[in-house]
Structure 1
Amino acid sequence: MTATITQTPDAQAQSTDEQPFQDILSTMQKGWNAKSGQTFASVFDSKHDYVVVNGIYLSGITPEANAHGHQQLFNTVYRTNVLILKLDKIRFVRPDLVLMHVLGATYEQGKTVPVDPAVVISMLVEKKNDIWKVVSFHNCNIEVSNEPDAPNKSPIPFQAMYATWYKH
């Protein structure tokens, strides 16, 4: 999959290589699916902000606190959930600062992969000492109407709004 990559004028010299950002998502997904809070949180900076899907705002937390919280979830409510993440967009704000938009969903092991994404995630990723780390993470539910005709009434087709989701 190729994500949309845009650059601000100050970031024009920045490489458009998306591999470091794909690696961040791959690590998060592997950590979630292996039920390892430590692996999941390893991509986060030493102090980062995290907005949980239900709106809880955790400011300035450590990877250890992130790992501990996720491990508790993996041991209980998410123990049979599988996570999939798809990189949708990368925007270089500066050569060392990237805004990422990611589409994601969880589903029960053994069930089919969801047709539509369930969350949109915004991440601010900063390069420090040649390593990209997540400094801010905001997880938000995608609200889709249960009305059967909702896709036909949408001003933008779902396949356009979540284009990268439909590429795989």
Structure 2
Amino acid sequence: PCVFLAKHQSAWETLAFQVILPPHVMVIKRELLWIPFFGWGLALMSPIAIDRGAGMRSLKQILEQGKQRLGSGFGVVIYPEGTRMTPGKRGKYQTGGAWLAVRAGVPVVPIAHNAGYLWPRNSFVKRPGHVTVSIGPPIATEGRRPDAVIDQASAWIEAECERLGDARQSPLP
């Protein structure tokens, strides 16, 4: 098991990661569970549903429930910027996922993609194109500080997102 730290640009990755990644749970804002049909389906995936306004209580919940899920053989997907970001924009990377990985003694695996160009944030419009997902090399956490881990992961994610570019310009295979 590992902690996946992924760029969050759209709803696409929330759906696609269910197929792309090995068995895992996601850390989500609890409000998503209140959305009719979508939230009910999401609840069946046993996410770690946090109150983003709860500060240290949320971190404690991520650490406790995350370690339990990792111990059961599941990976944990965290979007460290905490919300969907428009392609080309960078949010503040929170350290909760790095703390979980360090405390649990598991690696962090960074994930970049360009889905936000095709499934824009806050838009029902879907554009044609080819989404590329790039899964980075595992980042060891043993003996490291969480801030150093998140710095390394965020640098890789942002550089890789830039390298992937605009999915609307990608030729289809």
- State the TM-score, normalizing by the size of structure 2: 0.30
Q: Which has the higher strand share?
A: 1
- The structure in which a higher percent of residues are helix is 2
What's the TM-score once normalised by structure 1's chain length? 0.30
Give the structure, 1 or 2, with the largest relative contact order (CA under 8 Å, sep 6 or more): 2
